[in-house]
Amino acid sequence: MRDSHEIRLLNWNIERGLRLPAVMEFIASQQPDICIFQEVDLNARRTRRLDVAAVVAEKFQYNYVFGVEFEELSQGSKTAPAFHGQAILGRCRILNARILRFTHQSDFWSPRWYKPKLQVFQPRRGGRIALRADLVIGDARLVAYDLHLESQGDDALRSAQLKEVVEDSQQYSKETPVIVAGDLNTFVSPSPLRQYLISAGFVDASEGCDCPGTKPNGQTLDWIFTRGAAVCSGTRVHRETRASDHFPVSTLLRLGG
């Protein structure tokens, strides 16, 4: 860990960990203190039955928490189910982790009797979530929300999911450092979701930075926002890695700022 109040944060949709060696090579090159990951597999056939979050945590000596978003019905079995979700990893204590499963959901992923349980259809049981945890770094504490908003829906649905996160965060004082990061599936630019978070008192970590899109087609789906005693600098989209179908976003976070 650097200065106890200076944290390198990495936000990344790792595409299930399909190219896990390349993911870990990038982590090794950046040495983030905290990782906020989406699309993380657990016991799925496509990722060789690995517990992806646990593999990364062991490699880099991180503590971690994992939240189940979906059971992947085409990737496991009755006796060995497969899961998919979000993970927060860090060289810090992680306390009070819980899942905020959104009230507003799409039924797009629900299994249907007329659809075979094949990977192409991605049949799933569950729903989109925010994974929330307290991260204790030295004598500082911050609250992190790891989001994956719905891709199969419109901005009205995503806004309703995001509103649940903002309302949950209002239990903390205005001075408490709060991070909201993840894959927000903001297909439209300028995004109303970004403006909603700003109106709720959050700051876009990429504000004032020359940050290209987080997808190869130029779209920006992945974000880091802060509120309270936290200031970001040097935010960057790492388009040099091809370890996922999303490019990672990093920032240097200063607490108490």
| Tens digit of each residue's pLDDT (9 = 90 or more) over 221-232 | 999 999 999 999
Q: Are 6 and 219 in contact (CB under 8 A)?
A: no
Report residue 194: phi and psi, to 5°.
-60, -45
**pLDDT band at residue 122 under the 50/70/90 scheme:** low
Q: Is the pLDDT of residue 139 over 90?
A: no
**Residue 181 to residues 49, 96, 146, 162, 165: CA-CA distances in angstroms?**
27, 18, 5, 11, 11
For domain 6-255, give its CATH number from 3.40.50.620, 3.40.50.880, 3.60.10.10, 3.30.200.20: 3.60.10.10
pTM score, whole prediction: 0.93
**CA separation for the pair 249, 26 (Å, rounded):** 12
pLDDT of residue 1: 43
Q: What is the largest CA-CA distance in the chain?
A: 56
Listed by start position, the domains of the chain span 6-255
pLDDT average, residue stretch 136-162:
94
